[in-house]
Structure 1
Amino acid sequence: MSRARLLTVVGVLLMVTSCLIPCITFWNGITLPDQDPTPEAIQQENAEALAFEQSFENAVWIAAALAILGLAAFIYAWKHRRRPTRV
């Protein structure tokens, strides 16, 4: 496998991974609120919401970095791919 093809595959995988990371954070943070919450439950839900917001922000930054790396690898591979030789 040529370097350009390998970098193309790596670039696409990194971009797909960057799309999935925020989704995983949402799947882990989905809960239904209580019907008649106590003040302590409201405080706990607020703390959980803040923690979710921070973890989601971290996931988005990681996803953005992976997307940029994937795009850079894809562009590098596209520019350095081998042209078919004519005989």
Structure 2
Amino acid sequence: MTDSRDRAISLKFRTSPAWWDAHSRVAGRQGADRVADLLDHVRSVINERGDRQDLDALAASEQEVAERRARKGGLPLRRGS
């Protein structure tokens, strides 16, 4: 059974344009885009500080994303940033 929470959500948060641009440059120098970098950060925080429930949720989410990407044939090409 699929729950309405079983999909990616879009979140909004506020930051200064200068901070967002600086993060984009820093992530770019590391070979990542800023969204991928933020997702990596969230993943590492869960791994470092999460309890068993959090780690299980992360593992289930990673599996769901892998399955979704396999059905779609991988990540779509990014256009712009």
TM tier relative to shorter chain: 0.3 to 0.5
Query: TM-score, structure 1 length as denominator?
Result: 0.32
Q: Which structure is larger by alpha-carbon Rg, 1 or 2?
A: 1
The answer to which structure has the higher helix fraction is 1
Query: TM-score, structure 2 length as denominator?
Result: 0.34
Structure of greater relative contact order (alpha carbons < 8 Å, 6+ residues apart): 1
